[in-house]
Structure 1
Amino acid sequence: MIFSVVALAVIGLGNSNISTGDGSTPRPQTTIRYPIRFDDAPAVRAPQPRPTVSYPIRWER
């Protein structure tokens, strides 16, 4: 019985009709602009990759 009450409450709240008065449903506005750029950040170059071994690896032929 508790499960049915919770299910009915979820269905009832999920189907509520919220509008702005002109018949349209309000939608969240985006606050992000892509691509993301950090203009105030100092320009730091990424380190270049280096080999992890200093000897040649021999493979079987």
Structure 2
Amino acid sequence: MTIFAGFALAVVALGNGNSNTSAASGDAAPRPQSTVQYPIRFDDSPPPRIVQPRPTVSYPVLFPEAEGAR
């Protein structure tokens, strides 16, 4: 158990080291620049039209009426 604790302590100590080479010269680490322009706008095309369902048969479909429905 002591060996495990020593190993964990070594990992934490080595993992928290400052590995930034530019920190010694006082320079800040470069940050990525944003390429997004807000507000986001899409093409000025109209929204897609919703296709209305069309009947697949040319004759009326008659359903039997349930008794007592009237």
Place the TM-score, normalised by the shorter chain, in its bin: 0.3 to 0.5
Relative to the length of structure 1, the TM-score reads 0.42
Relative to the length of structure 2, the TM-score reads 0.39
Q: State the structure with bigger RCO (CA 8 A, min sep 6), 1 or 2.
A: 1
